[in-house]
């Protein structure tokens, strides 16, 4: 295997690992949003927003958006067969 082939192979491996890391970040963010949405079903949304604001140092607007995203994801999941 030549030098160029090794470099191309190493670059492809790095790209795959980078893609995997990015996918895991998005998956964790989606899971957080769904957990926040589930918590807002049991508690008042304002309470959950305050909790997220305090524990995760997120603004109230970002916390509200996270809850909305989680609700959308759960609704889409409920519609799927």
Domain residues for the domain of 20 are 3-79
CA distance 53 to 34: 16
What predicted TM-score, i.e. pTM, was given to this entire model?
0.76
How far is residue 41 from each of residues 59, 69, 78, measured CA to CA in Å?
20, 14, 15
- Decide if pLDDT at 78 tops 80: no
In tens, the pLDDT along 13-72 reads 778 888 889 999 999 999 999 999 999 999 999 999 999 999 999 999 999 999 999 999
Q: What is the pLDDT of residue 60?
A: 95
Q: What is the pLDDT of residue 64?
A: 95
Total number of domains constituting the chain? 1
């Amino acid at each position: 295997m030549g030098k160029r082939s090794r470099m191309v192979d190493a670059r492809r491996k790095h790209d795959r690992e980078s893609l995997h890391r990015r996918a895991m970040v998005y998956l964790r963010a989606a899971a957080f949003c769904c957990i926040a949405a589930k918590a807002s079903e049991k508690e008042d949304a304002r309470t959950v927003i305050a909790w997220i604001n305090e524990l995760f140092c997120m603004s109230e607007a970002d916390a509200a958006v996270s809850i909305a995203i989680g609700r959308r994801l759960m609704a889409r999941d409920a519609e799927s067969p």
